[in-house]
Amino acid sequence: MSHYLFDNTDARTPSRFSTLESCYDPVSRRQLELAGLGPGLRCLEVGGGSGSLGAWMGDRVGPEGEVTVTDLDPRWAESRPRPPQVRLLRHDIVNDPLPGDGYDVIHARLVLLHLPERLAVLDRLVAALRPGGRLLLEEFDCTWIPLLATPDEESAALFAHVQSALMTRLEKAGADVAWGRRVPGAMIRAGLTEVTATTYAESWQGGGTGVDLHRVNMEQASEGLHDEGVTDAELARFFALLKDPSFVINSYPLISTRGRRAG
Q: Where do contacts with ligand SAM occur on this chain (CB under 6 A)?
A: 2, 4, 8, 17, 20, 47-50, 70-73, 91-94, 109-111, 114-115
DSSP lists the bridge partners of residue 88 as 69
> Please, what is the minimum distance in Å from the beta carbon of residue 116 to ligand SAM?
10
> Please, what is the minimum distance in Å from the beta carbon of residue 17 to ligand SAM?
6
At 79 the three-state DSSP class reads coil
At 210 the three-state DSSP class reads coil
The residue (of 125 and 165) whose beta carbon lies closer to ligand SAM is 125
d(CA 192, CA 255): 17
Residue 171 phi, psi (nearest 5): -65, -40
For CA atoms 234, 157, 182, 18, the dihedral sign is positive
> Please, what is the minimum distance in Å from the beta carbon of residue 249 to ligand SAM?
19
> Please, what is the minimum distance in Å from the beta carbon of residue 70 to ligand SAM?
6
The residue (of 67 and 158) whose beta carbon lies closer to ligand SAM is 67
The residue (of 17 and 200) whose beta carbon lies closer to ligand SAM is 17
The residue (of 93 and 187) whose beta carbon lies closer to ligand SAM is 93
Detail the DSSP E strand segments found in 27-179: 42-46, 66-71, 86-90, 103-109, 129-140, 147-149
Name the residue with the smallest CB distance to ligand SAM: 49
